[in-house]
Structure 1
Amino acid sequence: MALALGEKLPLKTGSHRVAPAEHSASEQMIRVVHHSFDDSVFVDGDYVIKGIAGRLLVSMLEQHLANGTLEFTNREIRLDAALKLPEFKDNLETRLLLLRRRLDEKQLPIRLVRLGRGRIGIRIEGRLRLRKDMA
């Protein structure tokens, strides 16, 4: 086959070309920003969710950073007063489902997985940095 005018044949040298090493999941930095005025959450600069679902995500991430927690029960989530869930008809399962779908749709390195009845897990593929904006 003929070469196009701009193409050149590679020079043969003794060195091998090595593809750059991919960063392992644990080396990837995940930057999460939580804006408390509307509980909106951004991951690596992209909007994810707001409101109660945003508070749920931030609460799980805070617990993970504080003590390594990766599994949660609906009961312990409901009992967490900091989440300010409505006392009647909190729709927790629906909010968790919405959050899980949103994380999956955006293909983020943070995912929620159902572990069984009344149990949910969080999977984080990288190093997490959480920043809370109070204003």
Structure 2
Amino acid sequence: MISYMLTVGIAMVLITGLFTAGSAIVEDQQDQTARTQLSIVGQQVAGSVEVADQLVRSTAARPSQLVVTRSLPERIAGSGYRIEVSGGDTVILRLMGDDLAVSTHIDAETTVTGSAQGGTIEIVHQTSSGNLVIQNG
């Protein structure tokens, strides 16, 4: 009887340990997946801004109105996210409800401002300021 109780107790401790370790591994994997997805979307935003910058600076075009539209996922890892511009040359994607943030450098000569939620965004050239503004589309 005592050996049976010891066997059941040891089995319960082992199962509890496996569940605890397994949940930590799954949580780490989810964070890594979210970080990777934020990085990919950040690269897409930066690339779209760089295209808009090249169009604005093009001597042939000199657009009076320029809008570059980009469709992005509305959610990453099951959560919404926010796109922000910092310092005019860095785009930061922040996962809502989490402290996870990923930044991507923007290689543009035109000053970039604005912010948007995930989903369809627009990069608008404001002729009055000469800036490119990221906003929801």
TM-score (norm. length: structure 2) = 0.28
Hey, which of these two has a bigger chunk of helix by percent?
Answer: 2
Look at both structures and tell me which one has the larger radius of gyration over its CA atoms.
2
